A and B are shown apart, each in its own frame.
Chain A
Amino acid sequence: MRAALVAALLCATTISAAPPVTFTDVTRQAGIRFQHNNGRSGKKWLPETLGSGCAFFDADSDGWPDILLINGKGWIARPGVKSTHRLYRNNRDGSFGDITAGSGLDVEMYGLGVAVADYDNDGREDVYITALEGDRLFHNEGSGRFKDVTATSGIGNARFGTSAAWFDYDRDGRLDLFVANYVEWSPKADLWCSLDGAVKSYCTPESYKGVASKLYRNLGGGRFEDAGARAGVADPKSKSLGVAVLDFDSDGWPDLFVANDTQPNKLYRNNRNGTFREVGLMAGVAFGEDGVARGAMGTDAADYDGSGRPHLLVGNFSNQMLGLYRNEGNGLFVDEAPRSTLGRASLLSLTFGAFFFDYDLDGRLDIFCANGHLDEEIERVQPKVKFRQPPLLFHNSGKGQFEDASRAAGPDFMRPLVARGAAYADYDGDGDLDVLISTNNGPAVLLRNDGANRNSWLRVRLKGTRSNRSGIGAVVRLQTTAGRQWRMVHSGSSYCSQSELPVTFGLGGARIEHVEVAWPGGAIQRVAAPKPNQVLELTEPQS
């Protein structure tokens, strides 16, 4: 008994002695000088409060994640003042160089979101940017240069696009594109709302008409066709802000979860014939617990509890806690947020960007949320709800339980922001995942992960041959002495943002037994006992 007590105390001492993983704000020292422009005209027009997103992607194909920050613009053009997106090349030494000028991405748009993938399988990651007045597709020409190919691609979406995701829904080896669209809005139709009865505030979208989201089927040769209506995903009532690609029924075909603002969320099950069936209501993910639609924003899907099934994370409006919908495996999802720390800690936050990632590399997926309210005036009527809100970090303590690790992540992490987009990548090549946050009408924030790589890790980068070149949709499974983990390579998720495509596994102290890749083309590839702490590059077998 006494020995057990001593052992327990020792164990506790060991755990508490380990310094926590912290996040350090390295924005300035990394050379990121971006300032988001929401056009702020003083009229509180709806789009001003929704932008913008950010991306970690490999712009120059050198294996290091670069950064793209999406920008808005002024409502009226001002001669000599240009408000463009910003492209930063990774210098491979912890810093970035601004290569926006002449990159082809140095264009003015009222941009909101970004999705990245190699849609033409030429080995270079291409960029899709959603925007209020019209989305654009940029083909990566190499060497950090991009060409606007929107006009020739057959894509024409000028419907307040927000989040987007590349995925191969028909498994023909070419990446298709889903674009979430928000509402019908124009300056003439802008409505007046007030939180406190005194001054104008940004309106929630109830009174604006929804618009159908788009599904662009990749025809090859750089051409796309609008297949949304035929596929059954073009609901004209939806007011969509987030999209996650997942295979919730484990049939090998990618399904879609679409987060809607004040409209029911949608869960589109892939019928494996080019169409989808909406099953969100019966699955229990469309509404809050009272059967009323919530204000859903960002979203992600992953297996946080080792069940083998992807679960859903949904960021909601303030006074609506996060949704953590556990996939029961029978088509039903049960919201676990109310009974976990997650629910209480997120109740007052208005969450836009949200994703699963293993920030401490202990082998369990944790949760990150980027928060910020729509309106400065909120504090007048709800004293505990703030305009600027710190991010939230939830550590997965096992058995499906989460604990609030935000404070332990350090003072830089706790800085309140008006955050919108969020993405992760290992930008400094040390094995752990760093976080990029975009803020509304403010600077971007790069948070470096310090200390997680005390645990071992494995990163896997895929190169498709028969499947799409980016390996999107491939499932990477890792068997270790501690158990099994898996990730699906995906675009989309979070809010208006794109995380890096390589997947990262934390190993804790476990040893790798094997890595297995299930390619969308059907091939299964296995690597026995790769060494930890490396980036494993795998190319899809040709046959």
Chain B
Amino acid sequence: MDLFAASPVEDDPKQVRMVRRAGEAAQAALSTFAVGEEAEAPGQAFLREVGRVAAPLDRAGVRFEPGSTVRVDVVVRTRKIGHFFPGGTVDAFDVWLEVEAIDAAGKHFFWSGRVEEGGRGPVEGGAHFYRSYQLDAEGNPINKRNAWQTRSVLYVRLIPPGAADTAHYRIRIPASAKGPITLTAKLNYRKFAHYYTQFAYAGEPEPGQQKLVSRNHDSRAFSFVRSNIPANVSGAIKGRIPDLPVIRLAEAKVVLELAPPGVRTEWRQAILAGDYERWNDWGIGMLLQGDLKGAEYAFRKVIDAKPDYADGPLNVARALIQEGETEAAKPLLDRAMKIHPGLARIHFFQAMVEKADGRYDAAIASLRRVLEQYPEDRVALNQLGRLLFLKREYAEAVAVLERVMSVDPEDLQAHYNLMLCYRGLNQPEKAERHARLFQRFKVDESAQAITARPRLLRPDDNNERQMIHDHESVRLP
């Protein structure tokens, strides 16, 4: 992981500040028609200008002004794993980031992801979590390993293999802070979330709640008193709920001087060849959040740092393709192709540009080059099948999409396009079969309505759900 970048936070009194924590202006969300426009209390807002960035933090020589607020980006990257991080029981882990800031006098002035109760309790709710936050039909969290009651997800935040996540922290530096300040970021892991550990050892429903549970939901309140623990509880620990250890998977630290009084922060970047992957990972994290403005900026720095690295121009092109700027993406794809002509992913994105141009035959040829190297790549096969469908070459499309089925019989996109292709081939029975399977495997779009209640009740969870979101500190003395 990496404490990589910082940028200024500035006030815009005209904007409505995002509510990130419970009890912090949350009543505004519950206001009614009776609350007049005059009651509006605009707060602080964030206006980022790409370019006003200090990065990498350990090299840029940045000195923050005491009394200012900065947005610090923490990057978490996956390495040498062939699965999403975390993998496994993603509804039950505690995997989160803990970010702290301490000044030279030892004063804690920022802490996100603190473990409450002196390190033995739950992780504070405003932390940046890696998990699948599942909900039952009434919007209760799936926190009792009760996956059968899952009916919706509030969010899923897992890092793909070979990818990165970028988390944002709004750190207010006290006017009285003494430099240098130390920022630390830790990626923590606890085998089971605190709630589940309590539930597993001592969870007993409060009496009189029979109507609050069904096959679709569990709205019951539980008590976790020590007397609930069965005498024959397995394991060596008896008579108390164990404190599961918190494992530190990765850590980053940076020590920064503060600006002397009257000196403004200089937002500088240090472009060094050895840092190209750091810039790239920062950009990937933003790209996956849809922050195309930030991602494009980061990837252009990758090109500056290491001009012979094909992923630099390729990733700028990816951001541009997402923006619909396929013309602007073309020279960057050409440049990437010159650096590494055989790199399959360049041909994939080349195909996306050709498809957007309506040049279906060229796109098909590019995808076939990808498939020469990765014959079972579902993403490429699905795109190829779709293009053949759009060309009304239904039988050829079916042959390609059936290859997807042999890799994953639950592939949604393949079922959808197979349904259409068989419709085109006038084979209604097969079309019906894929329509049924598509509907079985596809997400019920309306299930997202379940998220409304928890979003209203828990602003910190609602904040965490946003694709791009900032974290604030817990209250500190």
Contacts and interface: CB of A to CB of B under 8 A. Distances in A.
Interface of A: 41-44, 74-76, 187-200, 206-210, 237, 262-264, 281-282, 284, 287, 289-291, 293, 319, 328, 330-332, 334-335, 338-341, 343-344, 347-348, 380-385
Nearest to A186: B32
26 contacts: A43-B40, A188-B30, A189-B456, A191-B452, A192-B18, A197-B18, A198-B48, A199-B18, A200-B16, A206-B449, A207-B448, A210-B449, A263-B446, A264-B445, A281-B438, A284-B420, A284-B423, A289-B413, A290-B416, A291-B412, A291-B413, A291-B417, A332-B420, A347-B356, A382-B323, A383-B292
Contact of A197 (B12, B439, B466): B466
Given A192-B29, A332-B420, A334-B392, 6 more contacts: A76-B37, A187-B32, A195-B468, A263-B445, A291-B416, A341-B358
Name the interface size band of chain B. 35 or more
B357 interface: yes
A383 B293 contact: yes
B462 A380 contact: no
Contacts of B382: 290
B291 interface: yes
Nearest to A238: B446
Contacts of B356: 338, 343-344, 347
A338 B358 contact: yes
The main secondary structure of chain B at its interface with chain A is helix
* Most central of B45, B292, B445 by chain A CB within 10 Å: B445
The main secondary structure of chain A at its interface with chain B is loop
B290 interface: yes
Contact of B326 (A194, A281, A344): A344
Nearest to B291: A381
Q: Which 3 A-B pairs have the closest CB atoms?
A: A198-B46, A291-B416, A347-B324
A339 B48 contact: no
Nearest to B357: A344
A190 B19 CA distance: 13
B360 A339 contact: yes
Interface string B338-359: 0000000000000000011110
Contacts of B48: 196, 198, 380
A296 to B, nearest CB: 12
B144 interface: no
Given A281-B439, A338-B358, A191 B462 contact: yes
Contact of A330 (B326, B355, B426, B463): B426
B322 A319 contact: yes
Interface in B118-175: 168
Given A281-B435, A381-B293, A344 B324 contact: yes
Given A344-B357, A383-B293, A194 B18 contact: yes
Interface string B288-299: 001111101000
Contacts of B448: 206-207, 262
A338 B358 CA distance: 6
A281 B431 CA distance: 11
A341 B3 CA distance: 44
B442 interface: yes
B295 to A, nearest CB: 10
B210 interface: no
B46 A76 contact: no
A41 B426 contact: no
Nearest to B424: A332
Contact of B45 (A188, A199, A282, A291): A199
Nearest to B14: A42
Contact of A289 (B30, B291, B386, B392): B386
Given A43-B28, A334-B390, A207 B455 contact: yes
A384 B328 CA distance: 12
Contacts of B392: 334
A116 to B, nearest CB: 31
B356 to A, nearest CB: 6
Contact of B446 (A210, A284, A338): A210
B466 A43 contact: no
* Most central of B420, B432, B439 by chain A CB within 10 Å: B420
